[in-house]
Amino acid sequence: MATVYSDRNWKIKIYPDDHAPPHFHVQTPDGESLVEIDGLQVLGRGANPKSLKAALAWAAKHTADLQRVWNEQNRRS
C-alpha cells in the first residue's frame, strides 16, 4: 500500500492489485471513502465530510501523481 499524502486528519492511499476503475482511498479516523482518479468522483462515502473535501482539493492538484502511483501499484501481467 502506498500512502500518497498524509495530513493531520486524513490520508490518501492507493492499494496494490486493487480493482478498477483507478481510484484512491481517503482515510480518516471516522471512516474511509473511495474516489475515482479520473474526474474525482466519490464512489464510496465513509470519511469525515470536511476531511474528504480537503483531500479532494489536494487531489485536484495532484491527479497526475495519483495516476502514476496507481499505475506503479497496479501493474497487470
Position 41 scores a pLDDT of 97
| Threshold 0.85, pTM exceeds | yes
Q: How far apart are CA 62 and CA 58, in angstroms?
A: 7
pLDDT in tens, 21-57: 999 999 999 999 999 999 999 999 999 999 999 999 9
Q: How far apart are CA 4 and CA 65, in angstroms?
A: 9
Look at the block and give the residue holding cell 497487470.
76
Q: Tell me which residue of 13, 50, 16, 17 sits closest to 35, measured CA to CA.
A: 13
Residues 6+ apart with CB under 8 A from 7: 51, 54, 55, 58
